[in-house]
Amino acid sequence: LLAVCHALIPLMRDGGRIVHVASRAAAWGYKFLSEEYKAKVDAYTTPDEVVAHIKAFVDASKAGDSEEKGLGKSAYGTSKLGVVLLTPMMQKKLDSMGKKIVVNCCCPNYVNTDMTSGKGTKTVEFGAEVEVYLANLPEGTDIRGKFVAEREIISYKEEWKLDDNGVIVRA
């Protein structure tokens, strides 16, 4: 994510949009952290801190003790938490450089794809809608550095669940 953005941002014109695909699974990446790690995550201000956190998770997972170390248990959730944490940091950096580029991340929902083993309850078209929405935000938008689902700003600290119809809803 960072390497691609570092390579492409210099090529982008003002008015450009960056849309990272995250997931509400970022909440799992946060929920299962120890209180100590939650406090650290809440205080991260640099990409290096986020990358170090993900590396610590990977190393602990390889050793089989990520939960014992307080780093949680979801590789997918941890990776998506990283995307969500990096997004506002990237927006802040671009703003400080005077770039008129907007960065956001989104959750496309529980989409029926190979990744969900065909169990997703939303169509691919539904899943793509939020990315298209964010890519076409108007100039001067206040939606900058945000985590968005169904055109609503959400938080990685919120808890989510699947309802009886397989739709992601607040817990």
Model pLDDT, residue 166? 67
Residues composing the chain: 171
Q: What is the C-alpha to C-alpha distance for residues 105 and 125, in angstroms, rounded to an integer?
A: 18
**pLDDT confidence bin for 165, thresholds 50/70/90:** confident
**Contacts with 152 (C-beta within 8 Å, 6 or more apart), sequence order:** none
Put simply, whether the predicted model's pTM sits higher than 0.85 gets the answer yes
> Residue 44 catalytic?
no
Model pLDDT, residue 23? 94
Model pLDDT, residue 79? 97
Which 3-state string (H, E, C) describes 1-30? CHHHHHHHHHHCCCCCEEEEECCCCHHHHH
Q: What is the C-alpha to C-alpha distance for residues 123 and 128, in angstroms, rounded to an integer?
A: 9
* Catalytic entry in 30, 37, 76, 110: 76
pLDDT in tens, 101-136: 999 999 998 777 888 778 777 887 888 899 999 999
pLDDT of 159 > 90? The answer is: no
Q: What is the C-alpha to C-alpha distance for residues 158 and 166, in angstroms, rounded to an integer?
A: 18
Task: Share the mean pLDDT of the chain.
Answer: 93
pLDDT of 141 > 90? The answer is: yes
pLDDT in tens, 68-77: 999 999 999 9
Among 5-19, 71-85, 150-164, where is mean pLDDT lowest? 150-164
